[in-house]
Amino acid sequence: MHLVNLVNLMKIMVQDNYQLSIEKNPVLLRSILSMSDMGIFFQRLKNSFLLTTLYNLLLMMVLFMLCRIAFYLFNTTYFNGMTVAHFTTLCTGGIQFDLTAVLYTNTLYCLTMLTPLPFRVNNGFQTVAKWLFIVSNSVVIVANCMDMVYYRFTLRRTTMAVIDEFSNDGNIGQIIGVSIFQYWYVTLFAVAMLFLLVKLYYQPRCIRHTGNIGWYLLRHTVVLLVFVFCFVTGVRGGVGSFVRPITLSNANKYVKQANEAYIVLNTPFCVYRTIGLKTFVNPHYFPTRDALDEAFTPVIQPQPSGEFKNMNVVIFILESFSKEYIGELNRDLDGGDYKGYTPFLDSLIRQGLTFEYTFANGFRSIDAMPSVLSSIPAFYEPYILTPYSTNKVSGIAGELDRKGYYTAFFHGAPNGSMGFQSFANVSGYQDYFGLTEYGNNDDYDGTWAIWDEEFFQFFAETMNEFRQPFCTALFSASSHHPFRVPKKYADRFKDESSLPLHKCIRYSDFALRRFFETASRMSWFSNTLFVITADHTNELTRPEYQNAAGRSKVPIVFFHPGGELQGRIPAIAQQIDIMPTVLSYLNYDRPYVAFGHNLLDSATVCHAMMYPTPVFQYFEGKYMYQFDEEKFTAIYDFVNDIPLQNNLINEMQVPADVEKKVKSRIQQYIERMIENRLTVGE
């Protein structure tokens, strides 16, 4: 009844005789208070293009939800331990993905129905609109139904990667034909969904407008513009500067097990969101899996040197903290007079362990979490945006959960921002602390998140209530565009350079100092391993960093208050090395998947590898190699030739072992993504 009243209210608001005053419009008042006659509702529904469009979109939302329920019922054996409450959570989470898919599918239909063109009142035009709706939505319903069967063989929803994979198969029609009869119960369900689609579709009554045509066009144009705004909001999954268009990985926010993301998702959404993304194609550099594994395997088989250390682990991922900004890591600049913008981090580095050449494995914020926390580099596309982002993954949090750790991830932005909450969940973090959990919007910076100083204090105080051992991570936010600091610090952190970001770096460094001052007074502090790195670089002003190597350089620092880890090792380190190094330091004893290596193992040849497009970059020794997936195109002595001006490709040969290392890492990455082998089976 309430739904009927609401819909009738919307209808009256767009009718030609709508009046703003309830007192002057008793019809409006009656609609709000007592409209329960379904016949009247459908009569009015037929008179409004807007309400008819909304009704038909709602019909598709219902059919999508029925497909989700059927998807689960047809595949219950793959989702163990499901409860009614949790399934309800998954279905509720799926609404935003259904809305995006329904809106994408019906873009043309909505424009056809809501654009105030004279001929939209013609019966012939409305018949065309009806079949446009039915045909396009029939396709997506059938796609949802096909995955009820196909999921059993691939354990994932169909994406463009799957479509591309079978695009050249001539027998795909035969396979579908056989499946229609073999899985007759799914076929019957699909037929039932299509019957409901056709039967319940509503077509508006075609009544020509006889009033003021100018007023009619103005009013209906406003309705169209409002609908377009709502349409864009629905497609993006929200509104605001902190909202990014939802992707497959956002489904991980609702799951307890990685494969449950496929209940939350729907097939049309997965296809739409992967259109244009580069699907992974196995290059087959190595003809057999044995040959590939012999060249390189990301499966780590730990060799612990003693008993497991029940030590807390705290990881900071600092927004935009390029290595260039850190004085202690640039002691040779300006004749030794370079100060940088991070006096506190400088002091921490002098007490901790770092490496001479430290690199990020990606170039965007969304690259950092998989790299730092799960040892997954960003090859081709950010992992979170790939069709494989719903794969089951290893992670520091997930591995330490096996040892009884409590795990939590912190980010001061609105919950769900940047897909961080989703990846934190799927990588093993038990709890998430964001703007909602912080609970005080007075400390919100107005653009991105809670100011670093306040949120870092919240981080320390909240951890003080955790049971030990715990593993936590924090992603900072204040050193981000539009590069502002709190008003109370406007004089303290004035611009001292031509780069506005520098004052934000100084402020976040100050917030880090305040965190350590607070944490050092807490009982857990002395039994904690701290790791500090950045997500990526930002604006660079020094010529030493304005090159293909410098654009990837970020700090990587390990700090233990007891002084067990100290020094500056003249070697290469990368973000994906953090996970295996932390687990090795704790004497972790279970196998896991990581594309990085243990930096504490003196027998390991240190290297770094990233994909800044359109070539891979591989660092080993003093050389940087560039590889375009077919051949090596450049070799630079990045240690001595800092501007990278002298390409040595014609003067020296690429070592055979380097070629093998580069190709094996690419192929392992692609194969394991495609085959969902980013974890070690029990």
Whether residues 248 and 297 fall in one domain: no
* In a shared domain, residues 433 and 522: yes
Strands (E), 331-374: 353-359
Q: What is the pLDDT of the chain when averaged over all its residues? A: 86
Which pLDDT belongs to residue 624? 96
Q: What is the pLDDT of residue 20?
A: 37
Q: Which alpha helices (DSSP H) does 75-169 contain, by range?
A: 84-105, 107-114, 123-154, 160-166
pLDDT mean over 184-206: 90
pTM for the full predicted model: 0.75
Whether residue 473 lies inside any domain: the answer is: yes
Helix (H) or strand (E) holding 570: strand 567-574
Do 384 and 308 lie in one domain? The reply is yes
Q: Quick one: three-class SS letters along 492-548?
A: CCCCCCCCCHHHHHHHHHHHHHHHHHHHCCCCCHHHEEEEEEECCCCCCCCCCCCCC
**623-676, pLDDT tens digit by residue?**
999 999 889 999 999 999 999 999 999 999 999 999 999 999 999 999 999 999
> What is the per-residue pLDDT for 24?
44
Average the pLDDT over 14-27 and give the result.
41
Domain extent for 30: 1-47
Three-state DSSP state, 312: strand
Whether the CA torsion 53, 58, 59, 63 is positive or negative: it is positive
In this prediction, residue 47 has a pLDDT band, given cuts at 50, 70 and 90, of low
Q: In a 10 Å sphere around its CB, with 0-12 CB exposed, 13-18 middle and 19+ buried, how is residue 243 labelled?
A: middle
Mean pLDDT for 176-196 is 87
Instruction: Give the pLDDT confidence of 359-401 residue by residue, as tens digits.
Output: 999 988 889 999 999 999 999 888 887 888 889 999 999 999 9
Nearest to 636 by CA among 624, 626, 628: 624
Evaluate whether residue 225 is within a structural domain. yes
Residue 634: which H helix or E strand, with range?
A: strand 632-637
pLDDT confidence of 314, banded at 50, 70, 90? very high
Q: Determine which of 62-71, 165-174, 499-508, 650-659 has the lowest per-residue pLDDT on average.
A: 165-174
In a domain, 256, yes or no: yes
Supply the pLDDT for residue 46.
Answer: 57
58 vs 95, 103, 228, CA distance in Å? Answer: 11, 11, 16
Residues 543 and 489 grouped into a single domain: yes
Q: Is residue 283 part of a domain?
A: no
Same domain for 658 and 546: yes
**pLDDT value for 540:** 87
Q: What is the pLDDT of residue 403?
A: 97
Identify which has the larger pLDDT, 182 or 565: 565
**506 contacts 484 by C-beta, under 8 angstroms:** no
Measuring CA to CA, which residue among 652, 623, 655 is closest to residue 639?
Answer: 623
Nearest C-alpha neighbor of 447 from the set 410, 474, 420, 485:
485
pLDDT at 285 over 70: yes
Note whether residue 680 is domain-resident: no
Residue 22 has pLDDT above 60, yes or no: no
Planar angle of CA 420, 423, 425, nearest 5 degrees = 110
Determine which of 166-175, 517-526, 632-641 has the lowest per-residue pLDDT on average: 166-175
On the 0-12 / 13-18 / 19+ scale of CB atoms within 10 A, 209 is middle
Question: In angstroms, how far is the first alpha carbon of the chain from the final one?
Answer: 52
The answer to whether the beta carbons of residues 16 and 216 sit under 8 Å apart is yes
Q: What is the pLDDT of residue 250?
A: 82
∠ Cα 78 81 83 (to 5°) = 115
Rounded to an integer, what distance in angstroms lies between the CA atom of residue 128 and that of residue 417? 40
State both tokens at 404: 């009884």
SS3 553: strand
Q: What is the pLDDT of residues 109-147, one digit of tens each?
A: 988 887 777 666 678 888 889 999 999 999 999 999 999
Residue 617 pLDDT exceeds 70: yes
Q: Which two three-digit tokens encode residue 329?
A: 């890591």
Q: Give the chain's domain count.
A: 3
Model pLDDT for residues 450-482, shown as the tens digit of each residue: 999 999 999 999 999 999 999 999 999 999 888
> Based on the domain organization, do 109 and 7 belong to the same domain?
no
627 alpha carbon, distance to own chain's centre: 27
Question: Can you read off the two tokens belonging to residue 505?
Answer: 């770096």
In a domain, 562, yes or no: yes
Residues 551, 598, single domain; the answer is yes
Q: Does 679 fall in a domain?
A: no
The first and second tokens of residue 210, run together, are 């006889």
Tell me the residue type at 162: V
Task: Give the per-residue pLDDT at 11.
Answer: 43
Sequence-distant contacts of 500-504: CB under 8 A, at least 24 apart:
501/320, 501/538, 501/539, 502/325, 502/341, 504/320, 504/478, 504/479, 504/480
Token digits for 6?
A: 């609401």
pLDDT of residue 210: 53
pLDDT tens by residue, 479-489: 988 889 999 99
Report the distance separating Cα 508 and Cα 502, nearest Å: 10
C-alpha distances (whole Å) from 532 to each of 11, 315, 513, 630 are 56, 6, 13, 36
Evaluate whether residue 281 is within a structural domain.
no
Same structural domain, 346 and 374: yes
CATH, residue 543: 3.40.720.10
Share of the chain above pLDDT 70, in %: 84
Tell me: do 550 and 417 sit in the same domain. yes
Same-domain check for residues 41 and 56: no
Q: Are residues 3 and 67 in the same domain?
A: no
| Same domain membership, residue 109 and residue 43 | no
Return the H-helix or E-strand segment holding 366: helix 365-374
Task: Give the Cα separation of 552 and 540 in Å (integer).
Answer: 11
- The full 3-state SS of 55-83, as one line of letters, equals HHHHHHHHHHHHHHHHHHHHCHHHCCCCC
